[in-house]
């Protein structure tokens, strides 16, 4: 029997599944972000009207790219696809492969990065801020959405940090 393959290549700004990310608290026994039964479209409808078009655009774009239905993860993240991960500490679980959240400053995208040429694409994308595990947008109107789509497509094909394939 062969051992599972574990991806140890950091996924740059992608997926938010490192212990230092706020989605995971190393002192806790379980991940905070899990799938729920909340309807993502209903969740978006409850967001401020000025943010709804960006959120629906991201929902449509990510669903087309991944071929996966949108699923609420925790109270505020909409995810597409999932993967199993295992850290060197032995902690393992399941996390969304790609997704976004609505924040007061605008949408936040999870799962963007990890491919060759990512930094150059980020320079061309437009007005964004990068965190440890996510990319912050004030508005999709301030970025090149065609480039964003290509970046999401490339990112979705890259194994996630800690991803295990059995």
DSSP structure class, residue 140? G
Residue pLDDT, tens place only, 21-42: 344 444 445 567 899 999 999 9
Question: pLDDT band for position 4 (50/70/90)?
Answer: very low
Residue 29 has what pLDDT?
53
Give the residue with greater pLDDT, 9 vs 117.
117
- How crowded is residue 31: how many other Cβ atoms within 10 Å of its Cβ? 18
Give me the torsion for CA of 26, 29, 35, 36, rounded to 10°: -120
Which of 94, 91, 100 has the alpha carbon at shortest distance from 63?
100
Residue pLDDT, tens place only, 78-107: 999 999 988 888 888 899 999 999 999 999
Number of domains in the chain: 1
Question: Is the four-CA dihedral 114, 27, 129, 55 of positive or negative sign?
Answer: positive
Domain that holds residue 79: 5-165
pTM above 0.85, yes or no: no
**In the predicted structure, residue 63 carries a pLDDT above the cut 70:** yes
Which of 107, 124, 111, 117 has the alpha carbon at shortest distance from 158?
111
Average pLDDT over residues 123-150: 94
Report the distance separating Cα 45 and Cα 114, nearest Å: 32
- Cα angle 74, 151, 43; round to 5: 25
The shares of helix, strand and coil residues in the chain, as percent rounded to the nearest 5, are 25, 25, 45
């Amino acid at each position: 029997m062969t051992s599972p393959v574990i991806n140890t290549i950091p996924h740059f700004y992608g997926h938010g599944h490192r212990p230092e990310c706020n989605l995971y608290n190393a002192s806790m026994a379980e991940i905070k972000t899990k799938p729920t039964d909340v309807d993502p479209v209903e969740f978006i409808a409850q967001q401020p009207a000025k943010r709804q078009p960006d959120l629906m655009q991201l929902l449509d774009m990510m669903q087309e790219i991944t071929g996966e239905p949108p699923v609420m993860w925790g109270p505020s993240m909409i995810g597409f696809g999932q993967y199993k991960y295992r850290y060197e500490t032995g902690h393992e679980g399941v996390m969304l492969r790609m997704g976004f959240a609505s924040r007061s400053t605008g949408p936040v995208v999870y799962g963007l990065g990890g491919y060759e040429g990512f930094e150059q694409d980020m320079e061309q994308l437009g007005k964004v801020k990068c965190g440890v595990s996510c990319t912050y947008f004030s508005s999709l109107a301030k970025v090149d959405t065609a480039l964003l789509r290509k970046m999401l497509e490339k990112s979705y094909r890259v194994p996630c940090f800690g991803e295990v394939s059995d």
